[in-house]
Amino acid sequence: MADQKAVAARLAPLGFAQAPTQAHLNLPPAALVSHALRRGEGTLTDTGALMADTGQFTGRSPKDRFVVRDENTADSVWWGDINLAFDPAKFAQLHQKMVAYLAGKEVFVRDAYAGANPDYQLKLRVVNELAWHNLFCYNMFLRPETGADTSWTPDFSIICAPGFEADPAVDGTRQKNFAIIDFTRKLILIGGTGYAGEMKKGIFGVLNYLLPHERATLPMHCSANVGASGDTAIFFGLSGTGKTTLSTDPNRGLIGDDEHGWTPDAGIFNFEGGCYAKVIDLSRAKEPEIWDAIRFGAIVENTRFVPGTHTVDFANKSITENTRTAYPISFIANAIEPSVAGAPTHIFFLTADAFGVLPPISKLDKCHAMYHFMSGYTAKVAGTEMGITEPQTTFSACFGQVFLPLHPTRYAEMLGQKMDENPEINVWLINTGWTGGSYGTGHRMKLGHTRAMITAALSGVLTEVHFKQHPIFGVAVPGAVPGVPTEILDPRNTWANKAAYDQTAAELAEKFVKNFEKYADFASADILAGAPKMAVEA
* Residues identified as active-site: 60, 201, 221, 239, 243-244, 258, 324
Backbone phi and psi for residue 203, each to the nearest 5 degrees, phi listed first: -70, -35
CA 433, 436, 441, 446 torsion-angle sign: negative
Backbone phi and psi for residue 126, each to the nearest 5 degrees, phi listed first: -125, 135
399 φψ region: left (φ > 0), alpha (ψ -120 to 50), beta (else)? left
**Max intra-chain CA distance, the chain:** 78
The runs of H, that is alpha helices, within 295-344 are none
Instruction: Fill in the amino acid letter for 284.
Output: R
CA 89, 90, 91, 95 torsion-angle sign: positive
Closest CA to 347 of 428, 414, 415: 428
State how far the Cα of 345 lies from the Cα of 427, in Å rounded to an integer: 8
State how far the Cα of 110 lies from the Cα of 95, in Å rounded to an integer: 19
Closest CA to 502 of 359, 357, 353, 352: 357
Closest CA to 409 of 259, 264, 261, 524: 524
Helix (H, G, I), strand (E, B) or coil at 96: helix
CA 82, 86, 92, 95 torsion-angle sign: negative
Pairing mode, strands 156-161 and 122-128: parallel
The runs of H, that is alpha helices, within 365-521 are 366-375, 408-421, 447-459, 491-494, 498-516
Backbone phi and psi for residue 417, each to the nearest 5 degrees, phi listed first: -65, -40
Backbone phi and psi for residue 365, each to the nearest 5 degrees, phi listed first: -80, 180
Backbone phi and psi for residue 102, each to the nearest 5 degrees, phi listed first: -80, -15
